[in-house]
């Protein structure tokens, strides 16, 4: 796993949006003061992938993800693994009850060549590539597949957090073995054994199924095939006889259909003629239409009179002036009186603010002088402490010794550390330094508080000066506006006249709207009457169209009642002339039906002779029934033939399953003992320890070699006659060197042996450099530089040791203010 870009928002100390761009970075350092948020950058990488961080104490520590007072935290990590590029996202929110939960999580496979700078444009998650996981539950398996390491092993081999740098060194043999299994992808042999067992079991199960199927095919023999062939021949003969008899049946049915159509046509004509009836109210419709049109004309004249009066009043109001301008001028008179009254108050506020700012500024300068004095005393105390250590080296050495350590003077094991002498200069210098540090902190706090007060009062002064200037400018503007005004009484008289004219105009408008409404109702009534008349004629035309094929007489379009009377008389005469023809058509239909029944009986006899029932439907159904019977017979014959062939195939398949089952069972037995996997793990551990031992010799100047025995790690101390010691007996600095050697060996050697995506493409160290002396630190720096120079690993470290940070080509400087931490890239 190799990080490419990290985006954080609202995450712990990173309240504001923060981006860390690892592009084209092989060797970097996170630097900054203690507590600035260096380790939080690594926490964000781990959190984006696994949803937790080692120092949070498990999943319940997710509350720590939110920045103080923030309601949402978002982390997005773009990373590469085994040649593919992914983006992992997690969002944490606090609900209304104060509960903190993961609101969203996802992993996506980004397309080849995707430009990560496009993330700055606010792209949706849907635009980032194929979705591999969309919920926190799906993330675990998807991240494990992409990275190749579970959470515990990721924090032991890739990102080594504070306090857990030596986890792999001190891990139990079983835990360490499981890490190597995941790194080397040895689970594949367990899967091969499981698949072999599954195939053996599947072969046995299939063999049982094949035996059952063979037992069910005992009757699929040559005798059954011959019987099916004879039945097929009989059905084919039936099909030929039915096809020969059906044309006579079809002719009889066509004659019957023609007779039925002639009768039905006469019935339809009789029904159409009988439906011609005069609707009720046809005579009154024309008179109602004329009355409605007269009312509409009268209403239109009333509207014209009301509109002329309204237009006259509107012209008088327009000539009288603009009420809005008069009211605005009255408002400016009132505003001028108010501004004159406020002038003295604004000037007094500015004077008070100036006095308060000068007093606060003087107090801040005094506090700053006190802070400089306290800082000088603290620096002198530090110099005194350094001098005391130089003078009394024995007392200074006691502060760093513990029972069981090796004495650097006599090279003997320390059993008891002597007490610090009562009059020791080192102890007195420490006490003086603590007092000076406390005084400096108090002076600094007082200076910052008074400086903040002075800045706040300065802002208040500027704000009040701006308010006063705005007030003076507005006063001048208002005086200029009212300079040519005739005065308040004259303005009020003009407004009263305009109000009277407006009321008259409003009453005229109401009269216009009332007249228009009456006109609308009259026009609507006229339209409705006309529509009723048109609907009556449409009804007449519809009835006449239904009998148009019988050539009805023409209608008079100016008299609806007369038109209906003429049409009804004609329809009654036509109905009487067609009633006799209908009786003759019924007799002809009966004779045609008897001929059809006789022809169908002849065809049905053919089906009965063949042992089948004839369908009582159309000629096509009879032919289809015969063809279906022949097709079914052919299908039965083919089924018997196929079953006979299937029995032969199953016999051959049974032999193949017996052979495959024996092979799979033998392979599962060979892999069940795990001997092959155990040998691979031993070889991998040997290579790892050899590489770590070489690095440890470089780091310790040839003092230590690293070995392993029965899963446990030991060092060979060449400065103590080759003494073999357990790694748990090493001091803090020695443990760091041994842990670093193992971590570098993991990154340098096992990545090449892994068969899965768990290639260790990066390693990040987050502790321990401050415990090393200058010589050892130089060896560590050179080792890390050589590893990074190979170009196939990203190497990162977290440190506040300046000598080490200055040797790193890319530094991410982490700083923090009262609101948020931020990261700035320095270097290549």
Question: Is residue 809 within a helix (H) or strand (E), and if so which, with residue range?
Answer: none
Contacts of 24 (CB under 8 A, 6+ apart): 828
Per-residue confidence (pLDDT) for residue 546, from 0 to 100: 83
Q: What angle do CA 148, 151, 154 make, to 5 degrees?
A: 65
What's the CA gap between 805 and 763, in Å, rounded? 16
For 368, the token pair is 């700053």
Work out the average pLDDT over 49-75: 84
- Give the number of C-alpha atoms closer than 13 A to the C-alpha of residue 428, restricted to the C-beta side: 10
Look-up: residue for tokens 């009262």?
A: 818
Q: Is the dihedral of CA 784, 785, 791, 797 positive or negative?
A: positive
* pLDDT tens digit sequence for 141-183: 999 889 888 887 787 667 765 445 567 777 787 777 777 776 6
Residue 443: which of 496, 376, 386 has the closest Cα?
A: 376
Q: Is the pLDDT confidence value at 83 over 80?
A: yes
Among 39-43, 569-573, 698-702, top mean pLDDT goes to 39-43
Q: What angle do CA 47, 48, 49 make, to 5 degrees?
A: 90
Question: Is residue 619 within a helix (H) or strand (E), and if so which, with residue range?
Answer: helix 619-671
Among 16-25, 326-335, 395-404, top mean pLDDT goes to 16-25
Per-residue confidence (pLDDT) for residue 822, from 0 to 100: 93
* pLDDT tens digit sequence for 627-645: 888 888 888 888 888 887 8
Per-residue confidence (pLDDT) for residue 740, from 0 to 100: 78
* 32 neighbors 42 (Cβ within 8 angstroms): no
Per-residue confidence (pLDDT) for residue 402, from 0 to 100: 78
Per-residue confidence (pLDDT) for residue 595, from 0 to 100: 83
- Mean residue pLDDT across the chain: 81
What's the CA gap between 55 and 717, in Å, rounded? 33
* 665 neighbors 198 (Cβ within 8 angstroms): no
DSSP 820: -
What's the CA gap between 370 and 375, in Å, rounded? 9
Work out the average pLDDT over 385-404: 71
Q: Kind of pairing, strands 2-9 and 810-816?
A: unpaired
Crossing angle of helices 560-609 and 619-671, in 10° steps, is: 60
Strand, coil or helix: 799: coil
Q: Is the pLDDT confidence value at 8 over 60?
A: yes
Secondary structure (DSSP) of 92-135: EEE-TTS-EEEEEEEEEEPPTT--GGGGGG---GGGSSEEEE-S
Q: Is the dihedral of CA 402, 406, 412, 413 positive or negative?
A: positive
* 770 neighbors 801 (Cβ within 8 angstroms): yes
Per-residue confidence (pLDDT) for residue 754, from 0 to 100: 46
Percent residues over pLDDT 70 in the chain: 90
Per-residue confidence (pLDDT) for residue 89, from 0 to 100: 94
Per-residue confidence (pLDDT) for residue 748, from 0 to 100: 61
Residue 743: which of 169, 91, 85 has the closest Cα?
A: 169
Contacts of 484 (CB under 8 A, 6+ apart): none
Contacts of 417 (CB under 8 A, 6+ apart): 398, 401, 402, 403
Torsion angle of the four alpha carbons 341, 343, 348, 354, in this order, in degrees rounded to the nearest 10: 160
Banded pLDDT at 4 (limits 50, 70, 90): very high
Higher pLDDT: 43 or 404? It is 43
* pLDDT tens digit sequence for 514-556: 888 988 888 888 888 878 878 888 888 888 888 888 888 888 7
Q: Is the pLDDT confidence value at 396 over 70?
A: no
Per-residue confidence (pLDDT) for residue 256, from 0 to 100: 78
* 265 neighbors 608 (Cβ within 8 angstroms): no
Higher pLDDT: 190 or 363? It is 363
State pTM to two decimals.
0.43
Q: Is the pLDDT confidence value at 751 over 60?
A: no
Q: What angle do CA 102, 105, 108 make, to 5 degrees?
A: 175
Residue 512: which of 297, 304, 298, 296 has the closest Cα?
A: 304
DSSP 705: E
Higher pLDDT: 73 or 228? It is 73
Banded pLDDT at 392 (limits 50, 70, 90): low
Banded pLDDT at 755 (limits 50, 70, 90): very low
Higher pLDDT: 562 or 320? It is 562
Work out the average pLDDT over 660-672: 77
For 340, the token pair is 């004159």
What's the CA gap between 213 and 207, in Å, rounded? 10
Banded pLDDT at 14 (limits 50, 70, 90): very high
Banded pLDDT at 237 (limits 50, 70, 90): confident
Residue 688: which of 629, 726, 738, 625 has the closest Cα?
A: 738
For 465, the token pair is 């000066």
* 765 neighbors 798 (Cβ within 8 angstroms): yes
Percent residues over pLDDT 90 in the chain: 12
* pLDDT tens digit sequence for 85-118: 999 999 999 988 888 899 999 999 998 877 777 7
DSSP 281: T
* 410 neighbors 397 (Cβ within 8 angstroms): no
Higher pLDDT: 146 or 388? It is 146
Residue 713: which of 684, 678, 738 has the closest Cα?
A: 738
Banded pLDDT at 747 (limits 50, 70, 90): low
Contacts of 696 (CB under 8 A, 6+ apart): 704, 705, 706, 715, 737, 738, 741
Banded pLDDT at 746 (limits 50, 70, 90): confident
Contacts of 337 (CB under 8 A, 6+ apart): none
What's the CA gap between 362 and 368, in Å, rounded? 10
């Amino acid at each position: 796993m190799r990080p490419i870009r990290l985006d954080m928002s609202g995450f712990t100390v990173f309240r504001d949006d923060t981006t860390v761009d690892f592009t084209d970075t092989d060797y970097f350092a996170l630097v900054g003061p203690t507590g600035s948020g260096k380790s939080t950058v690594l926490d964000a990488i781990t959190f984006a992938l696994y949803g937790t961080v080692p120092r949070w104490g498990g999943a319940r520590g997710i509350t720590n993800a939110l920045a103080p007072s923030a309601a949402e935290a978002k982390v997005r990590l773009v990373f590469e693994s085994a040649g593919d590029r992914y983006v992992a996202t997690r969002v944490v929110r606090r609900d209304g009850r104060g509960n903190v939960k993961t609101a969203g999580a996802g992993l996506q496979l980004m397309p080849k060549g995707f430009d990560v700078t496009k993330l700055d444009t606010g792209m949706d998650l849907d635009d980032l590539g194929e979705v591999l996981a969309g919920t926190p539950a799906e993330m675990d398996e998807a991240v494990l597949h992409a990275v190749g390491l579970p959470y515990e092993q990721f924090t032991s081999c890739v990102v080594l957090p504070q306090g857990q740098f030596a986890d792999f060194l001190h891990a139990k043999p079983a835990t360490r073995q499981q890490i190597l299994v995941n790194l080397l992808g040895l689970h594949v042999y367990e899967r091969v054994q499981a698949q072999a067992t599954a195939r053996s079991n599947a072969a046995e199960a299939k063999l049982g199924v094949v035996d059952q199927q063979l037992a069910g095919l005992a009757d699929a023999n040559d005798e059954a095939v011959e019987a099916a062939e004879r039945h097929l021949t009989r059905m084919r003969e039936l099909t030929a006889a039915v096809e020969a008899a059906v044309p006579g049946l079809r002719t009889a049915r066509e004659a019957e259909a023609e007779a039925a159509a002639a009768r039905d046509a006469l019935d339809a004509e009789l029904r159409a003629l009988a439906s011609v009836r005069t609707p009720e109210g046809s005579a009154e419709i024309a008179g109602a239409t004329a009355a409605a049109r007269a009312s509409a004309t009268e209403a239109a004249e009333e509207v014209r009179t009301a509109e002329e009066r309204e237009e006259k009043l509107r012209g008088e109001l327009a000539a009288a002036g603009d009420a809005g301008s008069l009211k605005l001028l009255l408002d400016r008179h009132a505003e001028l009186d108010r501004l004159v009254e406020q002038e003295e108050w604004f000037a007094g506020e500015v004077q008070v603010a100036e006095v308060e700012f000068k007093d606060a500024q003087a107090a801040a300068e005094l506090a700053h002088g006190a802070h400089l004095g306290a800082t000088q005393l603290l620096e002198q105390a530090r110099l005194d402490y350094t001098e005391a250590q130089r003078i009394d080296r024995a007392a200074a050495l006691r502060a760093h010794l513990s029972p069981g350590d090796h004495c650097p003077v006599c090279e003997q094991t320390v059993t008891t550390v002597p007490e610090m002498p009562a009059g020791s200069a080192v102890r007195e210098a420490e006490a003086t330094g603590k007092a000076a540090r406390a005084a400096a902190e108090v002076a600094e706090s007082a200076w910052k508080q008074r400086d903040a007060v002075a800045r706040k009062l300065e802002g208040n002064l500027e704000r009040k000066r701006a308010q006063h200037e705005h007030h003076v400018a507005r006063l001048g503007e208002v005086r200029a506006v009212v300079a040519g005004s005739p005065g308040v009484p004259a303005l009020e008289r003009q407004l009263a006249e305009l109000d009277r004219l407006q009321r008259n105009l409003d009453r005229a408008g109401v009269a216009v709207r009332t007249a228009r409404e009456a006109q609308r109702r009259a026009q609507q009534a006229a339209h409705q009457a006309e529509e009723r008349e048109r609907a009556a004629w449409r009804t007449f035309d519809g009835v006449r169209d239904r009998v148009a094929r019988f050539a009805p007489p023409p209608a008079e379009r100016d008299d609806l009642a007369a038109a209906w009377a003429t049409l009804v008389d004609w329809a009654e005469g036509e109905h009487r002339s067609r009633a006799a023809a209908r009786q003759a058509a019924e007799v002809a239909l009966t004779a045609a039906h008897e001929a059809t029944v006789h022809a169908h009986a002849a065809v049905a006899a053919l089906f009965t002779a063949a042992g089948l029932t004839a369908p009582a439907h159309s000629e096509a159904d009879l032919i289809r029934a015969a063809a279906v019977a022949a097709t079914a017979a052919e299908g039965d014959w083919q089924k018997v033939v196929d079953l006979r062939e299937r029995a032969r195939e199953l016999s051959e398949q049974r032999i193949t399953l017996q052979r495959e089952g024996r092979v799979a069972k033998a392979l599962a037995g060979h892999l069940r003992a795990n001997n092959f996997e155990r040998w691979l793990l031993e070889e991998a551990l040997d290579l790892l320890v050899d590489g770590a031992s070489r690095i440890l010799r470089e780091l310790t100047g040839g003092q230590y070699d690293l070995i392993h025995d029965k899963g446990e790690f030991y060092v060979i101390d060449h400065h103590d006659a080759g003494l073999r010691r357990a790694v748990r007996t090493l001091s803090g600095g020695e443990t760091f060197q041994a842990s670093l050697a193992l971590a570098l060996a993991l990154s340098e050697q096992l990545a090449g042996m892994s068969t899965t995506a768990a290639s260790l493409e990066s390693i990040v160290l987050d502790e321990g450099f401050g415990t090393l002396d200058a010589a050892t630190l130089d060896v560590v720096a050179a080792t890390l530089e050589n590893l990074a120079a190979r170009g196939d690993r990203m190497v990162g470290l977290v440190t506040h040791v300046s000598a080490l940070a200055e040797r790193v080509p890319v530094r991410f400087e982490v700083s923090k203010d009262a609101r948020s931490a931020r990261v700035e890239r320095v270097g290549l």
